[in-house]
């Protein structure tokens, strides 16, 4: 099988190996190059193995968990929603899906939930946690999405992040999608997914690791009006899985999602003007630390599978934030 070094004794083992290695090559330089390559491969395995570098700061720890009914209400599909031991279960079957909504609207804040999605065939099914003001501004709304795109047997879930600004999702469909395959299986356990929205940036986090930062480049490309927090499960067969190639198959119903550890903190729409927006880092002014940026670069290098700014099929005249990176 594949040799995996024991890192506790590996340096000594390597030294013995190098000293004992016969010099059958005609060039000492070539021999040393082989040794160095071997050393680098074994001492520094691909960063793709394992988990991302520590972000060094955990914004979720700054907010207390809340019970579901202290901050949310059912929005639709009440018969497809149940609460048990602080975990909310919502499900989709042939008759309906389900959704919930925060009691209060916010103008900035940290919004998170620990979510566990269903294994197996879930093509066409969307499990979402997002911000929106669609009900207040129908046809002209803002939205910030975390969405699990359902999948087929043996393929990983895709986590999609998206930003819509002022109706761009209603008619023109100017999405700003970045998609990821996670470094863990989101069906096995709960993991914490969060959106931090401040007047200067939106940061998407998974288990406190920043995976995407969407900065405010202009008022025209950034959501500034109050939004509510939503969660839902619904049938999006027309586009969710491989651009609609695979549809929801109700032989596998019900499709279930579980939410717990709800967190919502920040400035509500009714808060006084001096309410200070929350930050994803120790910097009160916002932004990310060097360690957080390093973790985000790792995720984007090894786990990002789509970036709208890099898509040649998109009309980037409509996404000016892609011009200057």
Write out the catalytic residue numbers: 143, 147
The Cα–Cα gap between 194 and 266 comes to 13
Q: If we measure between CA atoms, which residue out of 111, 176, 122 comes closest to residue 148?
A: 122
Pairing label, strands 191-198, 125-132: unpaired
Q: If we measure between CA atoms, which residue out of 99, 50, 15, 91 comes closest to residue 253?
A: 91
Q: Where are the beta strands (DSSP E) in the chain?
A: 72-76, 81-84, 87-92, 98-102, 106-117, 125-132, 143-149, 158-164, 178-180, 191-198, 201-206, 209-215, 228-235, 255-268, 304-307
**What are the percentages of helix, strand and coil residues in the chain, rounded to 5?**
20, 35, 45
């Amino acid at each position: 099988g594949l040799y995996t070094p024991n890192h506790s004794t590996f340096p000594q083992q390597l030294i013995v190996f190098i000293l004992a290695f016969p010099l059958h090559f005609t060039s000492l330089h070539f021999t040393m190059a082989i040794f160095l390559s071997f050393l680098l491969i074994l001492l520094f395995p691909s960063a793709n193995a394992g988990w991302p570098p520590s972000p060094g700061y955990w914004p979720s720890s700054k907010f207390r968990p809340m019970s579901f009914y202290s901050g949310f209400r059912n929005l639709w599909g009440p018969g497809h929603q149940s609460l048990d031991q602080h975990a909310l279960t919502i499900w989709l079957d042939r008759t309906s899906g389900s959704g919930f909504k925060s009691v209060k609207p916010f103008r900035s804040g940290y919004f998170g939930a620990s979510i566990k999605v269903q294994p197996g065939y879930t093509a066409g099914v969307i499990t979402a946690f997002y911000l929106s003001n669609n009900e207040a501004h129908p046809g002209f709304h803002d939205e910030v999405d975390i969405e699990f795109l359902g999948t087929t047997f043996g393929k990983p879930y895709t986590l999609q992040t998206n930003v819509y600004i002022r109706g761009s999702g209603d008619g023109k469909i100017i999405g700003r999608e970045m998609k990821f395959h996670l470094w863990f299986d989101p069906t096995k356990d709960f993991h914490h997914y969060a959106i931090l929205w401040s007047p200067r940036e939106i940061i998407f986090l998974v288990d406190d690791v920043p995976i995407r930062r969407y900065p405010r480049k202009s008022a025209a490309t950034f959501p500034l009006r109050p939004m509510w927090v939503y969660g839902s499960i619904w049938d999006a067969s027309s586009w969710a899985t491989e651009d609609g190639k695979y549809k929801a198959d109700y032989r596998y119903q019900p499709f279930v999602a579980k939410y717990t550890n709800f967190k919502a903190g920040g400035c509500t729409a009714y808060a006084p003007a001096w309410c200070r927006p929350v930050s994803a880092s120790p910097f009160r002014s916002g932004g990310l630390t060097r360690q957080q940026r390093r973790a985000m670069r790792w995720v984007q290098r090894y786990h990002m599978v789509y970036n709208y700014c890099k898509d040649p099929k998109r009309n980037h005249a409509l996404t000016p934030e892609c011009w200057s990176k």
